[in-house]
Amino acid sequence: MIKRARRQRKGGKKQIPVAEAVEAEVWDEEAGQPQEAVPASEPDETGWKTSTAHLSGIARLVRVGAWALVASGPVFGVMALVGASGPAQGVAKPVAAPSPASPVGPAGFAQLFVTAYLEAGQGTERDLAPYYSGSVALSVKPGTRTASRPVVIASREVQPGYWSVTVAVDVTAQDDKGKAKRLGVQYFRVGIQATGPAGAGGTATSASAVAGYTATSLPAQVAAPAALKPGALAYESDRGSSSTDPAVETARGFLTAYLAGTGELDRYTSPGTRLRAISPAPYTAVKVTGVQDDAGAGQQKVPADGTQLHQLVQVEATDQAGSAASLSYALTLTSRAGRWEVASVDDAPAIRASSAPSAAPHTTRTPTRTPDGAVATPAPSSS
Whether the bond into 280 is cis, omega within 30 of 0: yes
- Do 146 and 119 form a contact (C-beta atoms < 8 A)? yes
CA distance 171 to 187: 10
Of 308, 157, 331, 160, give the one whose Cα is nearest residue 257. 331
CA distances from 82 to 68, 69, 79 (A): 22, 20, 5
Identify residue 307 by its one-letter amino acid code: T
Of 351, 329, 327, 145, give the one whose Cα is nearest residue 232. 351
Give the H or E element holding residue 253. helix 246-260
In sequence order, the 6+-apart residues with CB closer than 8 A to the CB of 345 are: 258, 275, 329, 330, 331
CA distance 110 to 201: 13
- Do 183 and 174 form a contact (C-beta atoms < 8 A)? no
The confidence score (pLDDT) of residue 178 equals: 82
Q: pLDDT by residue for the chain (383 residues), tens digit each? A: 444 544 554 444 445 554 454 444 544 544 455 555 444 445 444 444 545 555 566 666 666 666 666 566 665 665 655 555 555 556 666 666 667 899 999 999 999 999 999 999 999 999 999 999 999 999 999 989 999 999 999 999 999 999 999 999 999 999 888 899 999 999 999 999 999 999 999 999 888 889 999 999 999 999 999 989 988 999 988 888 877 889 999 999 999 999 999 989 999 999 999 999 999 999 999 999 999 999 876 667 888 999 999 999 999 999 999 999 999 999 999 999 999 999 999 999 999 888 888 887 655 555 555 555 555 544 444 33
The confidence score (pLDDT) of residue 76 equals: 60
The confidence score (pLDDT) of residue 368 equals: 56
pTM given for the model: 0.63
- Do 150 and 169 form a contact (C-beta atoms < 8 A)? yes
* b (16+ CB within 10 A) / e for 187-196: bbbbbbbbbb
Of 156, 108, 132, give the one whose Cα is nearest residue 215. 132
The confidence score (pLDDT) of residue 47 equals: 47
DSSP 8-52: HHHTTPPPPPHHHHHHHHHHHHHHHSPPPPPPTT---TTS----H
3-state class of 369 per DSSP?
strand
User: For residue 124, how many other CB atoms are within 10 A of its CB?
Assistant: 15
* b (16+ CB within 10 A) / e for 252-287: bbbbbbbbbbeeebeebbbeebebebeeebebeebb
The confidence score (pLDDT) of residue 64 equals: 60
Chain centre distance of CA 261? 34
Domains, the chain, ordered by start:
1-30 (no CATH), 104-224 (3.10.450.540), 237-382 (3.10.450.540)
CA distance 65 to 278: 87
CA distance 106 to 192: 6
Of 246, 210, 235, give the one whose Cα is nearest residue 346. 235
Radius of gyration of the chain (CA): 45
Angle between helices 52-85 and 18-32 (to 10 degrees): 160
- Do 164 and 148 form a contact (C-beta atoms < 8 A)? no
